[in-house]
Structure 1
Amino acid sequence: MMRSLYAGISGLQNHQLRMDVIGNNIANVNTVGFKSSRVTFKELFNQTLRGAAAPAGPTRGGTNPIQIGLGTALAGIDVIHQPGNPQVTGVATDLAIQGDGFFVLQDAAGGYAYTRAGDFRLDAAGYLVNADGLRVLGWQAQGGVLPARDAVNLGPIRVPVDMFVPAQASSRVTWSSNLDATTPTNTPLTRAVDVYDSLGNAHTLIFTFTRTGSNQWSWQAEDAANPGTSLGQGTLTFGNSGLLTAGNTGTVSFTPTGAATINLQVDFSGLTQYAAPSTLEGTADGYPAGELTSFAIDTSGTITGTFSNGTTQPIAQVALASFANPAGLLRDGNLYWESNNSGVARIGVAGTGGRGALTPGALEMSNVDLSREFVDMIVTQRGFQANSRVITTSDEMLQELVNLKR
């Protein structure tokens, strides 16, 4: 009878632990990135009343052991790392992981912490941080170029609001579309193209195209601010098919005040000559200096900035970590740490190496299934009641035993 009392006590204790876990799951049903837990039991151990016996001779069979269990014990509390559903928020810095993987954070001691909660924001210094101010780690671009995405180059991600890109001087002008083959000779056709110097100042070049004869055109470039001075000229020759056969390229050179000399390679290979309206179009590379106006994060975690001059370039890339055994991680709130049984963090780019892709502008919700939790709560409650009944019944039996002396 004492065995049944202690077995009932162990049942009460462990069902109470299970109810604690269920309560924690339900409490965190709306916690971003929360992973539910489950409790498993095992039999405490067995007392052997009689061992097993082998068959003895041709007429006597063997006997099985007689054992009695002494209650239940906690086998484990496992974290269920099944992804939760993403909820769209529209916030640029919110990220949800679709699949396996964890965001990498820098803890107060300079070590690595991991989380599934992607409710990030920018602090006053431009660093991407979580709700507790821990910095999100990844790879910072230099001059629009990302470094090798490995653990060596890992560092805090920063999106400075005062970021700008320097001016890029123009080096090439490209012409495309058609010159009208029926244009009268010596009738000029002009088009303007904007180019930029090394300081980012814009200069308008006027290109003049003049039909000089059958299948032949001349071109000349001038600075709109200084007309009458040729900066470059040449001849275009077209074949009977209307395609350019000679004069595919040219050069234009001039020195703006206070800036470096601009040497332009002019590409005419995209021109044709047909009996159709002239639709000349010239484009130049280069751009002025630009300030950061906005940024966006894609599914690989690359943060791309858009600048006031119309250019875009990578600013940084968010890193993800994966583990051989995520259930072996140590958990503290929304953060996880490596343990002896989790395996070493494998840090890399989202969507590679078993790491999930990112959903920008969304958050991963809790994976708690309320219907399952309520069913488990009922089962746990009944288990607790049944074990309490074992204790009260055993107590009544002991009371009857004590009353035998009367």
Structure 2
Amino acid sequence: MMRSMFSGVSGLRVHQNKMDVIGNNIANVNTVGYKKGQMTFQEVFSQVIRGASAPQGGKGGTNPQQVGLGVNIGSINTIHTKGPAQRTDNPTDLMIDGEGFFVVSDDTNFQNRFYTRAGNFSLDRDGNLVTPDGFKVLGYQVDGKGEITDQIGGIVVNRSETVPPSATTKMNIRGNLDARIAEGEKYTTDTVIHDSLGNSYIVRYKFTKGAKDDEKNTKWTMSVDRIIEQSTGNYVKCDGEDKVNFGDNNSVNLLFDANGKLIKIGEHDIQDDKEANDKIKVLLNLKEIAFNKDVNDEDINDAIKPAGNFSEITVFDFSNKDNLLKLTQYANDMDAKPYTKDGNTSGVLNGFAIDASGVVEGIFTNEERKNLGQIMLAKFDNSMGLQKLGNNFFIDTRNSGEPQLGKADNSGYGAIAPGTLEMSNVDLSMEFTEMITTQRGFQANSRIITTSDEMLQELVNMKR
């Protein structure tokens, strides 16, 4: 038999295998997160007819004489280049803009782990973030305060989750007090605060313009006018005789210089020195609430005690740059107003969002936000060493290296793009070109077999 015939047979086999790889690539051209395969050839062992010889005497050296014995599969690699993005606007569709992989599991202890680039996830009836096959997406859990921990588990968006109410503790007053009004004129404004049960109360403040001193500094007095429960409209009172402890005695003096700049709060001078400003803190003591206005008997009869508890509310606090007092006295419209920095009613989960770092943030009906978990990613030293399992899943092998777990948008894992899917990285133009060369290679190898057969036929015919 002729060696060329067996070489042709080996060529047919490997070209058929390459056609299988090309066909699988084209079949998965629209598969989410699919990574194409690439096949290469290598020659098989060659038979040495005559070995090489060194130069000796007057003769030169000779090269080896070898006859190849065909072709074999060199490699079938998975190409892990990033596929193009497809926008879906579905909040549970996720794409990794980097080298990371999502980690999923079907094990109750989350020990049996698989890796995927396909981020077409959804929520099941229990709020678990899952793949189309029901595998849970793993991530870092949160504690009772919503802080991300190192504990690994499934990402859960529980629609029945609630956030408790919180009492108001910080307030910010900003705006302008009109310098054009006459001495003794008053301006009132209000804001809403909450107690520990989430009940809301309207606190009305009164600004009264005072006289100017010899240095043309203007004094204003700020006081609490009244506090009303928002749900009933009743006044709030306390059992004791003390009024609301605002500053020293239910009011605080504000001193503005001739340029309209606030220079003094009560007895505290406002300086450019940050350390001095850190000491300025005026509290509205609502542990024992009362009204501070001449009210008639009907108003008193409608007075109530707060249902929940209050803490001391910081009104002026320079120790926190986000809570700085931004109050001026210019010849402009009166728009000074207090703004609460915290405190709210209870709320239930109304929606969620996923950011670039994979943090799943719950959005509640009271407009509060709370972390529900953070999606975990994995990366490998050799991603080509991963083994495909089907269903867009990979598992690690001895040559891929151990999975390195971490958080998105950090240390090369890649950022997460919500509302987007990664498309297949198959290039149809290249696949069709490879298909043509593979077809021609298969055709040429088949000609080797037919030609070798004709030569054998001629050899057989020699005996006639």
* TM-score class normalised by the smaller sequence: over 0.9
Q: Deviations over 1:323-368 (max 9, x none)?
A: 1111100101110000000011111122222222222101111111
2:396 aligned with 1:378:
no
Structural mapping, 1:101-116, within 5 Å = 101-108=100-107, 110-116=111-117
Q: Deviations over 1:285-308 (max 9, x none)?
A: 211112221111122212222221
Structural mapping, 1:5-44, within 5 Å = 5-44=5-44
Number of the residue aligned with 2:452: 394
2:421 aligned with 1:363:
yes
Number of the residue aligned with 1:339: 397
Q: Tell me the distance in 2 between the aligned counterparts of 1:279 and 1:68.
A: 96
Secondary structure of 1:26 counterpart: helix
Q: Tell me the distance in 2 between the aligned counterparts of 1:373 and 1:52.
A: 42
What amino acid maps onto 1:34 in structure 2?
Y
Q: Deviations over 1:344-400 (max 9, x none)?
A: 111112222222222210111111111111111111111111111111111111121
Structural mapping, 1:313-332, within 5 Å = 313-332=370-389
Q: Deviations over 1:191-245 (max 9, x none)?
A: 1110000011101111111123221222221213327984232222223332223
Number of the residue aligned with 1:234: 252
Match of 1:354 among 412, 430, 433: 412
Query: When the two structures are aligned, how many residues end up with a matched partner?
Result: 402
C-alpha deviation, 1:15, in angstroms: 0.8
- Greater mean alpha carbon deviation, residues 252-261 or residues 17-26: 252-261
What amino acid maps onto 2:186 in structure 1?
P
Number of the residue aligned with 1:76: 75
Structural mapping, 1:6-405, within 5 Å = 6-57=6-57, 59-108=58-107, 110-143=111-144, 145-148=146-149, 153-214=151-212, 215-221=218-224, 222-224=226-228, 225-226=234-235, 230-231=243-244, 232=246, 233-247=251-265, 249-254=281-286, 255=288, 256-267=305-316, 269-284=325-340, 285-333=342-390, 334-405=392-463
Query: Residue 148 of structure 2 contacts residue 374 of structure 2 at CA under 8 Å; is this kept in 1?
Result: no
TM-score (norm 1): 0.94
Q: Tell me the distance in 1 between the aligned counterparts of 2:358 and 2:410.
A: 12
Query: Residue 139 of structure 1 contacts residue 146 of structure 1 at CA under 8 Å; is this kept in 2?
Result: no
C-alpha deviation, 1:144, in angstroms: 5.1
Query: Residue 144 of structure 1 contacts residue 315 of structure 1 at CA under 8 Å; is this kept in 2?
Result: no
Q: Which has the higher strand share?
A: 1
Secondary structure of 2:177 counterpart: strand
Q: Tell me the distance in 2 between the aligned counterparts of 1:401 and 1:144.
A: 89
* CA RMSD between the two structures: 1.9
Q: Tell me the distance in 2 between the aligned counterparts of 1:145 and 1:73.
A: 57
Unpaired runs of at least 5, structure 1: none
Q: Tell me the distance in 1 between the aligned counterparts of 2:49 and 2:147.
A: 70
What amino acid maps onto 1:309 in structure 2?
N
What amino acid maps onto 2:372 in structure 1?
I
What amino acid maps onto 1:103 in structure 2?
F
What amino acid maps onto 2:338 in structure 1?
G
Runs of 4+, deviation exceeding 6 Å: none
Q: Tell me the distance in 2 between the aligned counterparts of 1:123 and 1:300.
A: 23
